[in-house]
Structure 1
């Protein structure tokens, strides 16, 4: 094993390299596991999206009032509007994302280790580059799914149009705007999700190593490998830190992007700058942070659940050597 691979697998052998995975099992089992995580946390995305597109006249101004409104009008199914579309598109998007993430991470570690930086810094740079590359590569699939699902999430809410399903959204968007309508907000999605992904993975990679050093692993103070519960706890802590960091940095861009994407066919087309002016006019600069609470919870919960599922999946799919 070369130096870069050993670096990626450092910290008590808690990380499993891409070349050590059974890829078929990884993709098949992963589809099932991540679908389960999506089922559990999808309602948070619906609430966050509704808060971001609410107008000044909308009565539902916080997460709890949004939940009450959804349950009153649509019941539990209302919390899962657009879910079918998301699941359909999430599988290919996630395959592209994870494949790019893992392969890029190895190359990035090889590139940065020559600079002899501290291990947390190397991990932050390598994971950040991998996260950004993975996000960029999956945007072609993710953005149309995002546009369709978010229109379904807010249909009938605060003056937004109603649809009979995902295909109806596609038909109406293509009719009014052509294919480019499905990629509305693509530039902002790239600007939002790529840095967000980079920040998330950089924070996760570096925070793990800082925590391990704090616990005495990786610095010669302890020779025994960490227990499985300790590994899971450190990974969960890293996920929470990463989600909190990324949400605070990227919420304004996410709010602007969401408003652009859910704009109705009969509404006057607005630019990103016009959306910013409208948000500031309605709520001041804090308007750019609409939905920060749900987004903070969403990114932390999604991130922690996703990373624990992902790390478990890698252990489950590791080849027997």
Structure 2
């Protein structure tokens, strides 16, 4: 185990990988199911331009529940489960890069660079899934003409009107969207916003890991040496919540631009670049537009951070190799790896 200033850190080599992957898959699936509705709301809020369909997070909840029912909050959920598997690639890359590539760096820098690299690699899988899932999340607008005019999906909605995805299975919808994008834009259609995703999720992941370690060290320094389990849980939860909120505030502008850009459908011979999307957003909505979806994103992340950090604490402890098991009073650093994938 690695020694921080005040923390003992469970390393990748300390764990039984078979136990770890089994426990973490169950944890990731459960948490994703719990927070997916907020992710859907965040996507719809960020996709809005000009006259809005939703006034805010709570207004979106009411309208989606009234018009689409409970199922409306889980549009695109099955295909998004691929992200749970990608989370395993993420944590493997993160842990191994810390121990090999960045092991000579300071501990906070190890966390930042490890998180950034892990996110960049996992985005190769995540971006196509994210693009397809986003179109499924907003597909209900096709049946609501007034809503369609208010969401930034007019071209796709028009296409759906002639070859509707309503009535298709979830996999059928995913196949149709993939085929449509590849036919009109090539493979790049599934990787629209790839660099923006690297900026958004890579930086978010790096900031989260770095700030989590710093906050953990800070709060640990105020706790007594023989702290209770409740004090330890509070330290973990508070550090995770604060680091998540900090990372979101720093990266939300990238997320808004990324979402707008990915939801474009090519018209004619070209499409707006990421920079053009950013400029258009500022011109039409000002800097306030860069904060869209932040409340939903923080709400989603707050619950996820709390649940995943505490859950991951037990996953790491339960996955320890028998020779590495120490007393229950030892302090371990735990992080919500699967939230940043």
TM-score (norm 1): 0.87
RMSD: 1.9
Show the 5 A alignment for 1:210-289: 210-216=218-224, 222=225, 224=226, 226-264=227-265, 269-289=271-291
Q: CA deviation at 1:44?
A: 0.8
Match status 1:47 vs 2:44: no
265-274 or 234-243, larger mean C-alpha shift = 265-274
Question: Does the CA-based 8 Å contact 2:102-2:114 persist in structure 1?
Answer: no
Per-residue displacement from partner, 1:148-200 (whole Å, max 9, x unpaired)? 11111112434332534222211211121121111000010011111111000
State the 1:106 CA deviation.
Answer: 2.8
Contact 1:242 1:303 in 2 (8 A): no
Distance change in 2, residues 1:12/1:265 (3 Å): closer
CA distance in 2, matches of 1:208, 1:201: 10
Cα distance between partner residues in 2 of 1:109 and 1:171:
40
Which residue number corresponds to residue 115 of structure 1? none
Which residue pairs with 2:53 in the alignment? 59
Q: Which of 295, 298, 311 matches 2:297?
A: 295
* 1:12 Cα deviation after fit: 5.6
2:80 paired with 1:96: no
> Do the aligned residues in 2 keep the contact of 1:92 with 1:141 (CA within 8 Å)?
no
1:133 Cα deviation after fit: 1.4
Please state how far the C-alpha of 1:234 moved relative to its aligned partner.
1.1
Q: Point out the more displaced range, 265-274 or 293-302.
A: 265-274
SS of 1:155's partner is: helix
On the 8 A contact 2:116/2:205 being kept in 1, the answer is yes
Find the partner of 1:6 among 2, 5, 8: 2
Are the aligned partners of 2:2 and 2:11 in contact in 1 as well (CA < 8 Å)? no
Pairing partner for 1:106 from 99, 102, 106: 99
Per-residue deviation, 1:105? 2.4
Structure 1 runs (4+) deviating above 6 angstroms are none
Structure 1: 5+ residue stretches without partners: 113-121, 217-221
Corresponding position: 1:77 with 2:71: yes
Task: Give the number of aligned pairs.
Answer: 298
Asked whether the equivalents of residues 109 and 123 of structure 1 are also in contact (C-alpha less than 8 Å), the reply is no
Question: Which of 167-176 and 199-208 deviates more?
Answer: 167-176
Note the C-alpha offset of 1:70. 1.1
* 1:190-231 alpha-carbon deviations (Å, 9 max, x no partner): 111111110001011111011001224xxxxx3x3x333322
Structure with more relative contact order (C-alpha pairs < 8 Å, separation 6 or more): 2
The Cα of 1:48 is off from its aligned counterpart by: 0.7
Contact persistence 2:27–2:308 (CA under 8 A): no
Q: Which moved more, 1:192-201 or 1:50-59?
A: 50-59
